[in-house]
Structure 1
Amino acid sequence: MNTPHGRFQQAFAQALFAPPETVDPVVRELAMQPAFAVYRNTVMKACIDALEANFPAVARLVGSEWFRAAAALYVSAEAPRDGRLLHYGDGFADFLRGFEPAAELVYLPGVAQLDTLWRESHAAQDSPAADAAWVARRTPEQMAALSLSPHPTARWLWFGDQPVYSIWERNRRPGEATEELAWKGEGALLTRPQDAVDWQEITKAGCVFLDACAGGATLPQAAERASAADPEADLAATFATLLRAGAFADPSTQLASDERAP
């Protein structure tokens, strides 16, 4: 980008999102042309449309008009860095945390985080999931040494103070829910065991268990950390829930790969 052509390309891209007074002089004359304004508006609209598609639960909560006004400010500050707009908006949750009109919607950044995790799970690498029957055949000695890595499509998050998962789920898959929300902490787990992303609520112990597994802990070590986080947790039920959800990668594949390695 140090060549004159490269500088022009960079300045042109920045001019699409920057205020007119901050435009690089190399493209200022071009940026003042009416046709450039039309092109700029087209690009901005495409980015806003992408954000609205990428954050459907947030958009449904606040309404399209509110969302698109907020999205326009985000686009002006954070231009896309990837031509695949499915990946656009990784910083949108943080933007909402500092967005004054959203200050009273304390759960909104968390909802945006879950919309982001859905996209990550959707786009993650395909891989076989751990088979519960394979795990059940392990001896006690093998179980004590076994580490299970989270599946590439697995995403999870614990929200300590707000029912973010319930709010997100009701707006991601709206239905006839009439129960009043209990204002308490919740965890969310998203997986893609088949072709579609699936999601469910999980406990704090489940989130801590997955965190430990992601760090390379053995199953007993992960269980110990989960029990410390929630002494009343049913760890056997927690582990079974995670297995059924497809939250772990197939360990037999990794073991076979290790055996082939020199």
Structure 2
Amino acid sequence: MREPFMDAFEAALGGSPTALDPWLAAGERPQAGLWVYRNTTAKARADALAALYPTVERLVGQDWFRDAALIFGGNQPPASPVMDAFGAGFPDWLERFPPAATLRYLAPVARLDAAWSQAHRAIDAPVVLAADVTGLPSARLFGATARLHPSAHLFWFDWSVPSIWLANRPDAEPGQTVTWEETPEGLIILRPRMDVVSRRLTPAERAFLDACDRGRSLGQAASAAFLVDPATVLPTLFAGLLGAGVFTAIDMEPSL
């Protein structure tokens, strides 16, 4: 719970001329000093959002993004000193921001940016390797459950959001042309080792991982993948996900 003074100080930074009166001597008006704090605070918030949402900034340009960040900071001031927490509501806010109404991809792209930051900060955890499951009887493996890495974030869109996000990341090659089109796409963002990585998902992989994420057995996950794509080659699918570091543990059913 915030202290009353912090709420009053926030209101004063927002332009309220009397918010700090209970803490000031009679007739004292610290407007000049507040102006410096107001500018510094606004810039710090905008800089924090730009660091958290670099793909959004690249898509709309620095000026558009800076103006949006200043408005967002005024509408939703931070409730804690942790600037990552301050930016958590930015994707939802973008959906309601009138100047972004024609940029339908912007809020979903912001959610992918947020997932990248969350994966970057996620706890370290072991990664299941192909060698860890090689030689296990199929019956036992199909009865096991696979836990996703704690940094993993799964996404599936009815539109080409992942393509737009990947083409506009800070480390993306320049000059790529990607359009907003009605093409279903999936993506997983995670940090299995030192660096955050992203990987496109096929419909079968998405169904398989969604089943695993809901605690289903690997056999049930396989059935979900086959239901989506009967041509799925399960060993190839599973090996690809293991190679990407998607799982942190395989919990085996007790032997009879």
Whether these two folds match at TM > 0.5 is yes
In the alignment, is the contact (CA less than 8 A) between 2:164 and 2:178 conserved in 1?
no
Matching residue within 156, 159, 166 for 1:158: 156
Rounded Cα–Cα distance in structure 2 between residues aligned with 1:31 and 1:224: 70
Q: CA deviation at 1:133?
A: 1.4
1:227 counterpart letter in structure 2: F
Please list every run of at least 4 consecutive aligned residues from structure 1 whose deviation after the TM superposition is greater than 6 angstroms. Answer: 28-31
Q: CA deviation at 1:7?
A: 2.2
- 1:219 maps to which residue? 218
Rounded Cα–Cα distance in structure 1 between residues aligned with 2:202 and 2:98: 31
In the alignment, is the contact (CA less than 8 A) between 2:91 and 2:110 conserved in 1?
yes
Shift of the 135–87 alpha-carbon distance from structure 1 to 2, 3 Å rule, reads: farther
Matching residue within 5, 16, 25 for 1:20: 16
In the TM superposition, 1:19-168 aligns within 5 A as: 19-20=15-16, 23=19, 26=22, 33-160=31-158, 162-168=159-165
Q: CA deviation at 1:250?
A: 3.0
Q: CA deviation at 1:71?
A: 0.9
In the alignment, is the contact (CA less than 8 A) between 2:52 and 2:84 conserved in 1?
yes
Shift of the 15–242 alpha-carbon distance from structure 1 to 2, 3 Å rule, reads: farther
Comparing 37-46 and 230-239, the one that deviates more: 230-239
Comparing 38-47 and 63-72, the one that deviates more: 38-47
Rounded Cα–Cα distance in structure 1 between residues aligned with 2:28 and 2:239: 62
| TM-score after normalising by structure 1 | 0.84
Rounded Cα–Cα distance in structure 2 between residues aligned with 1:68 and 1:205: 40
Deviations 1:178-218 (A, max 9, x none): 46558312111112122111112112332232222122111
Rounded Cα–Cα distance in structure 1 between residues aligned with 2:72 and 2:238: 40
Matched, 1:245 2:241: no
In the alignment, is the contact (CA less than 8 A) between 2:192 and 2:245 conserved in 1?
yes
2:138 counterpart letter in structure 1: P
- 1:194 maps to which residue? 193
Rounded Cα–Cα distance in structure 2 between residues aligned with 1:144 and 1:163: 33
Larger helix proportion, structure 1 or 2?
1
- Indicate the SS of the match to 2:81: coil
Rounded Cα–Cα distance in structure 1 between residues aligned with 2:180 and 2:133: 36
5+ residue gaps in structure 1?
Answer: none
- 1:206 maps to which residue? 205
1:169 counterpart letter in structure 2: L
Rounded Cα–Cα distance in structure 2 between residues aligned with 1:30 and 1:60: 44
Shift of the 30–50 alpha-carbon distance from structure 1 to 2, 3 Å rule, reads: farther
| TM-score after normalising by structure 2 | 0.85
Identity of aligned residues (%): 38
Rounded Cα–Cα distance in structure 2 between residues aligned with 1:198 and 1:112: 17
Matched, 1:9 2:6: yes
Shift of the 88–208 alpha-carbon distance from structure 1 to 2, 3 Å rule, reads: farther
Q: CA deviation at 1:87?
A: 4.1
Q: CA deviation at 1:19?
A: 4.8
In the alignment, is the contact (CA less than 8 A) between 1:191 and 1:245 conserved in 2?
no
Comparing 94-103 and 22-31, the one that deviates more: 22-31
Shift of the 223–15 alpha-carbon distance from structure 1 to 2, 3 Å rule, reads: farther
